[in-house]
Amino acid sequence: MSSNRKPRDKRMSIEEVVGSLESGMTIGIGGWGPRRKPMALVRAIYNSDLTDLTIVSWGGADVGLLARAGKIRKLVYAFVSLDSVPLEPNFQRARQSASIPEVVELDEGMFQTGLRAAAQRLPFLPMRAGLGSDVLVNNSWIKTVTSPYDEGHGHEELVAVPALKLDVALVHLNRADQHGNASYLGPDPYFDDLFAMAADKTYLSVEEVVDTAGLTVDTPVQRLLLSRMMVSGVVETPNGAHFTTCTPDYERDERFQRAYAAAASGSDEDWQAFHDRFLAGDEASYQAAVQAFTEENAK
């Protein structure tokens, strides 16, 4: 390989990313509840023809939107919350109506261990979390294994947490270069690197694409969470995590979240009105509608 060859430019549009996805895929969505979710990509999936998806997520509005649109065949989750709205209302509606055909609810530690197993390309990893809980009652297909080592108190029984292997991971970070190296600037990586390592392909949305050298300007090197080897595509999406947090670029839009929750909890007509105003168009239309909403409510 020539030493003059430059790494591939991985910049893509939202439409190109979603166009590369296929119905029936297993898609992991990074972030944590209402924090740093790749919402621009989720909104595009919401408006796409994709169906029968398996969604793996520490869920928030990402799960709620895709459930409302009938995109989810199987959901693997540890929780689905908006924090100030404890139970995501579109998710609640879907669970109460049993509109998601298959649901796997895991302990948070088991969820993390499943991603770690997939990241290491192992079929499972053992752990104690889940023993004696209804997780194993409600998911009888999850097996236990006996440790081959006797440490003085017998051969211990452990949960064999199955790998959460992903076809695709979608994550949102603060900054990236065009090659896929990416950093987070907020307080927590939210396991986004685990999602990336557990997936065959990772698509990354960011607030800003910067020069590679700019990734470490005034930023500790340990904030570099993803390397270009882990990323298949980079999308520059300013405000692309809205209405979730993307600290320090912006915090959660609580006023908009309340409007979302009210529409999701209301009548079909309430939701349709919300959809028509905010979700029926592309990302630029969404951002313009949010700006108008913000200005109206600032008066």
Residue spans of the domains in the chain: they are: 14-107+164-212+221-298, 124-162
Residue 122 has pLDDT above 70, yes or no: yes
Q: For residue 151, what pLDDT band results from cuts at 50, 70 and 90?
A: confident
What is the DSSP code (8-state) at residue 86? S
Residue 236 has pLDDT above 60, yes or no: yes
Q: Which pLDDT does position 116 carry in this prediction?
A: 98
pTM of the model: 0.94
Identify the residue with better confidence: 247 or 223.
247
Cβ-Cβ contacts under 8 Å for 74 (sequence gap 6 or more): 53, 54, 55, 100, 101, 102, 103, 104
Q: For residue 69, what pLDDT band results from cuts at 50, 70 and 90?
A: very high
| 14-107+164-212+221-298 classified as CATH 3.40.1080.10 | yes
CA 273, chain centre distance (Å): 26
Whether the CB-CB separation of 59 and 100 falls below 8 Å is answered with no
Q: For residue 221, what pLDDT band results from cuts at 50, 70 and 90?
A: low
Structure tokens given for 104:
């796997």
Residue 216 has pLDDT above 70, yes or no: yes
Task: Give the Cα separation of 153 and 296 in Å (integer).
Answer: 66
Give the model confidence (pLDDT) of 268-297 as tens digits: 999 999 999 999 999 999 999 999 999 999
SS3 assignment, position 104: strand
Closest CA to 38 of 62, 67, 13: 62
